[in-house]
Amino acid sequence: MEVWDGSTSVHGEVRNVSSTGAFVAMTPAIPIDRGVAFWLRLAGEPILVRGYVRWTRSLAAGPEAPVGFGMEFYDPDGQLAALLAEALPGIEPS
């Protein structure tokens, strides 16, 4: 998928999704506090996901810990958390 940070679009892979955020594997990692957005397909429907980079990993620590960033979703009304809980087993809405 493509991650948009307001100035550039970079290919990344979403991993470890929760109701409040996700890890996005990509090189290079986007700086902390940068706003990001990407489209995520849930139950066959494209959903625009927005959020902020909260932490980065600039050096890979093995295949299970690639370069990338942890993001916090911007979800003021809880709609995204509800959609994630419905579409992905094991995720509880916050």
Q: Which CATH number do you get for residue 17?
A: 2.40.10.220
Number of domains in the chain: 1
Q: How high is the mean pLDDT of the chain?
A: 84
Confidence at residue 90, expressed as pLDDT on a 0 to 100 scale: 66
What does R_g of the chain's alpha carbons equal in angstroms? 13
In a domain, 93, yes or no: no
By C-alpha distance, which of 94, 89, 5, 78 is closest to 42? Answer: 89
In a domain, 59, yes or no: yes
What whole-number distance in Å separates Cα of residue 36 and Cα of residue 45? 20
- Tell me what the mean pLDDT of segment 8-32 comes to: 86
What whole-number distance in Å separates Cα of residue 39 and Cα of residue 58? 24
Structure letter (DSSP) for residue 67: S
- Each residue's pLDDT tens digit, 40-50: 887 788 888 99
Q: Is the pLDDT of residue 25 over 60?
A: yes
Token pair belonging to 17: 């999704």
Confidence at residue 9, expressed as pLDDT on a 0 to 100 scale: 83
CB 91 within 8 A of CB 18: yes
Strand (E) or helix (H) holding 65:
none
Rounded to two decimals, the pTM is 0.81
